[in-house]
Amino acid sequence: MLGKLCFIVSLLALIGQASADPYTQLISYQGRITDSGGNAIPNGPQFVTMKIYDSDVGGIELWSSGIREVTVLNGVFTYILGDSVAFPTGLFAGDSIRYLGVRVGTDPELTPRVPLLGFALRVASIDGSAGGTIIGDLVLEGKATLGENNVNSGLRSFVVGHNNRVYGNYSTIGGGGGSANPWDSNVVYGDHSVLGGGAGNRVDSIYSVVAGGVLNHAIGESSTIGGGVGNRAVGLTSTIAGGGGNTTSNIGDAIGGGEGNQTIAPGYYSTIAGGNLNTTGGIGSTVGGGEQNSAANDYCTVGGGFDNLASGFYTTVGGGDANHVVGDRNTIGGGQANLVSGWFSTIGGGNANDAQDTAATIAGGQNNHATAVFSTISGGGDNWAEGRYSVVPGGSMCEADGHFSMAAGRRAKATSDGSFVWADHTDADFVSGGAKSFNIRSTGGMFVYSDSNATTGAMLAPGSGSWASISDSTLKENIVPVDGDRILELLGELEISEWNYESQSGDVRHIGPMAQDFYRLFGVGDNERQISSVDPDGIALAAIQALEKKTQRITQLEEEMLELRQLVLKLMEQASVPAENGQPSEH
């Protein structure tokens, strides 16, 4: 008695035939027979019977090979199931597993039965589906059409689905389709193209792809549509990843997704990452997303936002709402309703700001206007920088109209060239006093300190017309008295002249000493080229004190002289004797 069947290998063989039966089902079966000791039986002929059941135990016999002679070599034999006795129609239909039983000679059938796994039939015949052909002859160069009402007229093309049509060579439709309505059918006209599935999709050019979706149309050569609805890839080598109603019009354009986005000629190599109703019209231009944004010129960018426009070469709008860049190489970072129309100009953000000339800059704020070359407004509201190289650091309603001027605060007006105007919050215009002037309105006073602790300096008190130096005794050291008489003596040596500064007109006259003489005589101050106002004041006070002392001494001497005179007169009266003739006599 033989032992057992050690292993079984099953292999599907599909062989196309020109007959009423478009396919033949064959299984290449291989087994190894041993004796009860596990040794291979001797080489030579053996008789086997193969049966297929619907169950691994018992069940219904669905097919039998009958007794067949096989040749055994080293215990191994091979047999083609379905060769001598064909399989009945529908034997392998559905998802049911079939089981193979093997009997050697007159021995009982070996156990367990072997499940037939991995058996495949022509796709068109699975589960009762109908239609389709697989052609492999050399004349037609190999093609496959699976499904119903498909058309495949291309060489080596592949069509799957329903009502789909391939006219291009070496092209593929992977599935999808629908009714006979052309809007439902997928169509490939281009050679070497692929349409993955969906409905109503179309590929017109060679090397193009529509992965799926509905009503997508790859028109340009080597164009690609990943999916979505109603997308059109018109440009050569253009790409639409998905979304709806997007159109690429130029070479190398790309749309990542979104809806209603469009790349407009002649802007090839432009990109729209996503969003809604965005457009690009320049070479290498980009819209990152948002809605109704337009990168309309070469190498310009709109990052996102709503209704933003970059129409100049190499311009950028980062985002925001209704921002427009008209000139070349300009930038708007964000904000709302900002406009840049110059060259190399920038608006960082804010609202309703306007940079109109070359290299003008507005950092932010609202309703600011930089209208001259290299003009700058840092922020604030309702400010104007209309002079060349003018600056408004901030504030409200300030105007830097003069060239190289600066205005800051509230209603500061630098109307003169080179003027600086700073105004406090008083609600009134403060206008520069002239060209190259420094003008400050500080109704709360001014404080200027010359040390880091803010203890030494000068103050212009509110409403005052002169500076007051800080002279607190607690802030002074090395205090020594001065010799007033010596001060008076030195003052007598100090030459006081009338003169004018070389930087001023000769009509503007001044009176005072020379700093070198002042420093030589008194030795006070920071250096011999300057006279600090505190030193002449101190010298004057010391001199006044000395004069006061001299005056007191003079007054005392005058009083003493008066007393002496009165005494002399008295003595003279006492010493006088009346003469006989009425004249005093001398004794």
Residue pLDDT, tens place only, 435-454: 999 999 999 999 999 999 98
Query: What is the overall mean pLDDT for the chain?
Result: 87
Mean pLDDT of 461-484: 90
In this predicted structure, what is the pLDDT of residue 141?
A: 55
In this predicted structure, what is the pLDDT of residue 259?
A: 94
2-121 adopts what CATH topology?
Immunoglobulin-like (2.60.40)
Q: How far apart are CA 242 and CA 233, in angstroms?
A: 11
Is the pLDDT reported for residue 82 higher than 60?
Answer: yes
In this predicted structure, what is the pLDDT of residue 95?
A: 64
Kindly give the pairing relationship between strand 354-355 and strand 339-340: parallel
**DSSP secondary structure code for residue 542 in this structure:** H
CA distances from 426 to 278, 392, 443 (A): 47, 17, 8
Q: How far apart are CA 444 and CA 69, in angstroms?
A: 122
Q: What's the chain's Rg over C-alpha atoms?
A: 55
Output the six-digit token pair for 562: 């008066």
Tell me which residue of 30, 41, 36, 35 sits closest to 7, measured CA to CA.
30
Is the pLDDT reported for residue 17 higher than 80?
Answer: no
Is the pLDDT reported for residue 505 higher than 60?
Answer: yes
Q: How far apart are CA 499 and CA 258, in angstroms?
A: 81
Buried b (16+ CB within 10 A) or exposed e, 425-445: eeeeebbbeeeebebebeeee
Least confident of 109-113, 316-320, 322-326: 109-113
Helix, strand counts (H, E) of the chain:
3, 54
Q: How far apart are CA 515 and CA 522, in angstroms?
A: 10
Q: How far apart are CA 273 and CA 304, in angstroms?
A: 10
Burial class of residue 479 (count of CB atoms within 10 Å of its CB; 0-12, 13-18, 19+)? exposed
Output the six-digit token pair for 2: 């033989």
Q: How far apart are CA 75 and CA 33, in angstroms?
A: 5
Is the pLDDT reported for residue 77 higher than 90?
Answer: no
Mean pLDDT of 475-495: 92
Tell me which residue of 263, 255, 245, 241 sits closest to 289, measured CA to CA.
255
Mean pLDDT of 41-51: 89
Mean pLDDT of 408-426: 97
Mean pLDDT of 480-504: 93
**DSSP secondary structure code for residue 475 in this structure:** G
Neighbours of 153 (CB within 10 A): 13
Q: How far apart are CA 498 and CA 520, in angstroms?
A: 19
Percentage with pLDDT > 90 across the chain: 62
Half-sphere exposure of 337 (CA within 13 A, CB side): 7
Is the pLDDT reported for residue 268 higher than 60?
Answer: yes
Mean pLDDT of 196-211: 95
Half-sphere exposure of 259 (CA within 13 A, CB side): 2
Is the pLDDT reported for residue 80 higher than 90?
Answer: no
Mean pLDDT of 328-343: 96
**DSSP secondary structure code for residue 330 in this structure:** -
In this predicted structure, what is the pLDDT of residue 6?
A: 43
**DSSP secondary structure code for residue 321 in this structure:** B
The region that residue 352 occupies, defined by phi over 0 for left and psi between -120 and 50 for alpha, beta otherwise, is left
Mean pLDDT of 164-187: 87
Between 196 and 137, the more confident residue is: 196
In this predicted structure, what is the pLDDT of residue 114?
A: 84
Q: Would you list the domain boundaries of the chain?
A: 2-121, 335-433, 446-474
Is the pLDDT reported for residue 123 higher than 70?
Answer: no
Percentage with pLDDT > 70 across the chain: 88
Is the pLDDT reported for residue 346 higher than 80?
Answer: yes
Between 580 and 472, the more confident residue is: 472
CA angle 121, 127, 133 (to 5 degrees): 50
The whole-model pTM stands at 0.69
Tell me which residue of 250, 240, 232, 25 sits closest to 119, measured CA to CA.
25
Strand partners, 53: 61, 99
Is the pLDDT reported for residue 423 higher than 70?
Answer: yes
CATH code of the domain made up of 335-433: 2.150.10.10
- Per-residue confidence at 584, pLDDT binned at 50, 70, 90? low
Do residues 200 and 212 make contact, with C-beta atoms less than 8 angstroms apart? no
- Indicate if 335-433 has the same CATH topology as 2-121: no
In this predicted structure, what is the pLDDT of residue 121?
A: 46
Do residues 344 and 358 make contact, with C-beta atoms less than 8 angstroms apart? yes
Residues 6+ apart with CB under 8 A from 182: 200
Strand partners, 145: 133, 159
Buried b (16+ CB within 10 A) or exposed e, 156-195: ebbbbbbbbbbebbbbbbbbbbbeeeeebbbbbbbbbbbb
Do residues 23 and 121 make contact, with C-beta atoms less than 8 angstroms apart? yes
Mean pLDDT of 290-317: 96
In this predicted structure, what is the pLDDT of residue 140?
A: 46
